[in-house]
Structure 1
Amino acid sequence: MTFESFMLQDFINQALKENNFTQPTEVQERLIPLIQKGRDVIGQSQTGSGKTHTFLLPLIDQIEIEKNEVQVVITAPSRELAEQIYQVAKQLVAFAPSEIRIAKFVGGTDKQKQLEQLQHQQPQLAIGTPGRILDMVNERALLIHKSKAFVVDEADMTLDLGFLPEVDQIAGKFSEDIQMLVFSATIPEKLRPFLKKYLTRPVIEEIKPKTLLSETIENWLISTKGKDRKQLIYQLLTLGEPYLAVVFANTKEYVDEITEFLQNQGLKVAKIHGGIASRERKRVMRQIQHLDYQYVVATDLAARGIDIEGISHVINAELPRDLDFFIHRVGRTGRNQLKGTAITLYDPSDERAIDELEKRGIVFEPKEIKNGEVVATYDRNRRKKREKTPDELDPETIGYVKKQKKQVKPGYKKKIKQKIDKNNQEKRKIERRQQQRSAKKQKKNSNL
């Protein structure tokens, strides 16, 4: 299938060719025809699967240029995500025969200026964060009541960040026949009441990835072994020559700490987290996209909300608290069939989380830094796989064996050894008796 199969307007096909998009992704192939038919849709697929074009292509195609009214509203949970959708939409309308008006409404921008602009002209496509869009609607400046479609992008992230009440209020402003499109990486239980309230007989499409991670990604696991994590990160960033490397941490405080450490080592480092003012974040993002920085340190805001081209390395300074974000982080690299390297640092307290990721199908390559280079090392589970408690031991002795592996007092170790030796001695006695009985039986049978 090609994009021509969707019978989109010529200006959209021209924009797609300009951006070298020739073949739709699976989510686009399955959902665009449904959206074109006006169906309510719940699309569940991972980051990087092409969700943004999935809803923008058919909705822009259906915009009536002659109508000076809001026809499509799209909410995104972060300013960066809204900016990303806005930029893609601008690219898609670049060749339109007449102007298609697209407006972006996010916090941190001049609200008064937006109010004045809306008095003169309404956008045909409104994109923004839930709080600012609701603000514009409540001011009776953004008139959305005639809209034909409402898109909630990254719905699970919207829920996590606490913006679902605002989205709920926005949804309540539309007419009953509004087409609702909800896109999300996951569908949490707490999201279901909202979906049930607003969507009419929705088509639910879950696009499961063929592999959890792209085959072009090398997924390394490195034990910190009590070493300083910041020093390890510096080594990993400077061992090779990354095109663009992103280091992920869980808190803005730790992002600040890592950034300061790397800068003190002489690296030019950008940082992105929710504590940085919107205007500053936007400036830093532009600089990253222009390759002014080779190293970026960020919170998970960047994992879901920012699409940076050409990331060659991702380093998890620590595992994400929500393990679902592991895929989002690592998925920043290895895109468009380019090779990428993902590196996760861990210590013994992370064992359970690593086990859980492996159960989900994540495969790690154990690595270590040796003599200034990253080399393969032993599987961290090798001892567990090799050391198995003998089935012959009774439960009491198994307890002693387990205790023996711990550090205990010397006198107690002696008692444990005596107990195990005694058990083995009794086992040998039983075996000798069984052998003697077998020999007697054989002798008796031979005399018959």
Structure 2
Amino acid sequence: MTTFEQFGLQAMILKALEEINFTNPTQVQEKLIPVIQSGKSVVGKSQTGSGKTHTFLLPLMDKVVAEKDEVQLVITAPSRELAQQIYNATVQIAKFFTPVIRVANYVGGTDKERQMEKLKNQQPHIVIGTPGRILDLTNENALKIHTANALVIDEADMTLDMGFLAEVDQIAGQLPEKLQMLVFSATIPEKLRPFLKKYMENPVIEEIQPKTILSETIDNWLISTKGQDKNALVYKLLTIGQPYLAIVFANTKTRVDELGDYLRKQGLKVAKIHGDITPRERKRVMRQVQNLEFQYVVATDLAARGIDIEGVSHVINAEIPTDLEFFIHRVGRTGRNGMSGVAITLFDPSDDRLVSDLEKLGVEFHPKTLQNDELVDSFDRNRRLKREKSRDELDTELIGMVKKKKKNIKPGYKKKIEWAIKEKNRQKRKTERRQDLRQKRKERKRTY
């Protein structure tokens, strides 16, 4: 089994990994750390929870020279929360470095003037932040990133979706021509490709297909909402499951507000997270969630992609996202680091196509229903279709017999068809048995 020692990382980095009990690299780390160490540019496509943050941090921090008083690495993230998550991971490693390496996090909603004043005296070795704030500081000539030899663009597809690609383009344009660029993304949209072509020459493109699309530690349940009050059903699921920490996902800010307010009226202490909540308020709520002041969180997909909440025991999809990639990110919030988790997805008949599409992607659901305040196994929603498929199919000869009878079906015709099917199958079994006996006789002759 591969260990981090095999990458030849500095002892202080290995100590940092030991502190957080990281012993064996994940699939994406095992494949890409050696590539990044070689100095090549990389486009890495992998799902959330795959360990991609440490995939780029470990080899790039290993190259940082503390004695050089200049920016050496720039990392952009599309949201403040994701930038903070990367910053926390970087600081955890950096504290083991001697001499000290300086790490700075620049995001919107923070004191820009104070940051500029501090930059007059000293530049950080590693810059992390949202594209807008990093660009602001460079345009003010306060942050000097032109010395950096590596640029990481994390969650590139989300960066594109949120309209930050133009800022990232301007940041990349200020960096040296010989630049190691690492782009990590859950998907590679067509609109992202011109940017990649502009800055990356023959990058290593690595798509990490997970062994299972969802962690094996997750119980993935599917519950029909047909004829039920969805809000009341969510409340029931939250109160009977005794979650340690539960996130309920909805598709829109309006739905988050509606569901959050309903749950509060039922007496639950609920945190709401969506794009209309101010950065300061969101930061305060996140701190309260981490301190377990809230047991329940209702959120849009911002929380699935940009916020790292530890200890999530239950995820409830109050709605199925139309972008199925978000389903994986949502459910990936639970069952992490070998811990068990429960993911519950609510659906009504209009969602049948989305459920089918998820199943085609490899998502396996276990149907459940709520009976007497207890979740019990339910029928597979496709049972009728499967039953029809399992019936004996008519062969071409019998199909011809059926087609000849269009309107005037004689009495007993249905029984004749059924008898013909049975007779056909009986003959087939008889032939198979005969062939089997012949084969056994041949084998006996060879033996003697």
TM-score bracket, shorter-length normalisation: 0.7 to 0.9
Residue of structure 1 equivalent to 2:298? 297
- In the TM superposition, what are the counterparts of 1:74-223 in structure 2 within 5 Å? 74-223=75-224
Q: Residues 24, 430 of structure 1: CA spacing in aligned structure 2 closer, same or farther, 3 A cutoff?
A: closer
Deviations 1:220-244 (Å, cap 9, x if unpaired)?
Answer: 1101012111110000000121111
- Following superposition, the deviation at residue 198 of structure 1 comes to 0.5
Q: Residues 263, 420 of structure 1: CA spacing in aligned structure 2 closer, same or farther, 3 A cutoff?
A: farther
TM-score normalised by the chain length of structure 2? 0.87
Partner-residue secondary structure (3-state), 1:335: coil
Provide structure 1 residue ranges, at least 5 long, that are not aligned to the other structure. Answer: 398-418, 435-448
Partner-residue secondary structure (3-state), 2:24: coil
Residue of structure 2 equivalent to 1:328? 329
Conserved 8 A contact 2:322-2:354: no
Residue of structure 1 equivalent to 2:385? 384
Amino acid at match of 1:61: D
- Following superposition, the deviation at residue 48 of structure 1 comes to 0.6
Q: Residues 72, 424 of structure 1: CA spacing in aligned structure 2 closer, same or farther, 3 A cutoff?
A: farther
Provide the C-alpha distance between the structure 2 equivalents of 1:217 and 1:424, rounded to a whole number of angstroms: 56
Amino acid at match of 1:212: I
Residue of structure 2 equivalent to 1:24? 25
Residue of structure 2 equivalent to 1:243? 244
- Following superposition, the deviation at residue 190 of structure 1 comes to 1.6
Q: Tell me, yes or no, if structure 1 residue 366 matches structure 2 residue 367.
A: yes
Provide the C-alpha distance between the structure 1 equivalents of 2:250 and 2:121, rounded to a whole number of angstroms: 44
Q: Residues 193, 426 of structure 1: CA spacing in aligned structure 2 closer, same or farther, 3 A cutoff?
A: farther
- Following superposition, the deviation at residue 428 of structure 1 comes to 7.2
- Following superposition, the deviation at residue 429 of structure 1 comes to 12
Deviations 1:224-273 (Å, cap 9, x if unpaired)?
Answer: 01211111000000012111110001111111111111111111111111
Amino acid at match of 2:384: R
Deviations 1:56-92 (Å, cap 9, x if unpaired)?
Answer: 1111111111122111000011111000000000000
Provide the C-alpha distance between the structure 2 equivalents of 1:212 and 1:53, rounded to a whole number of angstroms: 21
Partner-residue secondary structure (3-state), 2:337: helix
Partner-residue secondary structure (3-state), 1:181: strand
Conserved 8 A contact 2:314-2:334: yes
Provide the C-alpha distance between the structure 1 equivalents of 2:346 and 2:311, rounded to a whole number of angstroms: 22
Q: Residues 430, 58 of structure 1: CA spacing in aligned structure 2 closer, same or farther, 3 A cutoff?
A: closer
Provide the C-alpha distance between the structure 2 equivalents of 1:205 and 1:299, rounded to a whole number of angstroms: 29
Residue of structure 2 equivalent to 1:400? none
Q: How many residues align?
A: 412
Provide the C-alpha distance between the structure 2 equivalents of 1:313 and 1:122, rounded to a whole number of angstroms: 42
Provide structure 2 residue ranges, at least 5 long, that are not aligned to the other structure. Answer: 421-448
- Following superposition, the deviation at residue 283 of structure 1 comes to 1.4
Residue of structure 2 equivalent to 1:53? 54
Identity between Structure 1 and Structure 2 (%): 65
Provide the C-alpha distance between the structure 2 equivalents of 1:428 and 1:247, rounded to a whole number of angstroms: 52
- Following superposition, the deviation at residue 340 of structure 1 comes to 0.8
Amino acid at match of 2:373: G
- Following superposition, the deviation at residue 98 of structure 1 comes to 2.3
Deviations 1:185-220 (Å, cap 9, x if unpaired)?
Answer: 111222111111111221111111000011111111
Provide the C-alpha distance between the structure 1 equivalents of 2:52 and 2:386, rounded to a whole number of angstroms: 42
Provide the C-alpha distance between the structure 2 equivalents of 1:129 and 1:21, rounded to a whole number of angstroms: 27
Partner-residue secondary structure (3-state), 1:337: coil
Q: Residues 373, 99 of structure 1: CA spacing in aligned structure 2 closer, same or farther, 3 A cutoff?
A: same
Amino acid at match of 1:60: M
Runs of 4+ in structure 1 off by over 2 angstroms are 384-394, 419-431
Amino acid at match of 1:384: L
Provide the C-alpha distance between the structure 1 equivalents of 2:289 and 2:332, rounded to a whole number of angstroms: 18
Residue of structure 2 equivalent to 1:439? none
Deviations 1:397-432 (Å, cap 9, x if unpaired)?
Answer: 9xxxxxxxxxxxxxxxxxxxxx9873455957998x
Q: Residues 64, 359 of structure 1: CA spacing in aligned structure 2 closer, same or farther, 3 A cutoff?
A: same
Partner-residue secondary structure (3-state), 2:184: strand
75-84 vs 97-106, greater mean Cα deviation: 97-106
- In the TM superposition, what are the counterparts of 1:37-52 in structure 2 within 5 Å? 37-52=38-53
Q: Residues 54, 194 of structure 1: CA spacing in aligned structure 2 closer, same or farther, 3 A cutoff?
A: same
- Following superposition, the deviation at residue 385 of structure 1 comes to 2.5
Q: Tell me, yes or no, if structure 1 residue 422 matches structure 2 residue 423.
A: no
- Following superposition, the deviation at residue 386 of structure 1 comes to 2.8
Provide the C-alpha distance between the structure 2 equivalents of 1:301 and 1:188, rounded to a whole number of angstroms: 19
RMSD: 2.3
Amino acid at match of 1:385: K
Provide the C-alpha distance between the structure 1 equivalents of 2:230 and 2:317, rounded to a whole number of angstroms: 10
Amino acid at match of 1:332: R
Residue of structure 1 equivalent to 2:283? 282
Partner-residue secondary structure (3-state), 1:336: coil
Provide the C-alpha distance between the structure 2 equivalents of 1:32 and 1:430, rounded to a whole number of angstroms: 68
Residue of structure 2 equivalent to 1:233? 234
Provide the C-alpha distance between the structure 2 equivalents of 1:247 and 1:428, rounded to a whole number of angstroms: 52
Residue of structure 2 equivalent to 1:73? 74
Provide the C-alpha distance between the structure 2 equivalents of 1:180 and 1:98, rounded to a whole number of angstroms: 26
Partner-residue secondary structure (3-state), 1:96: coil
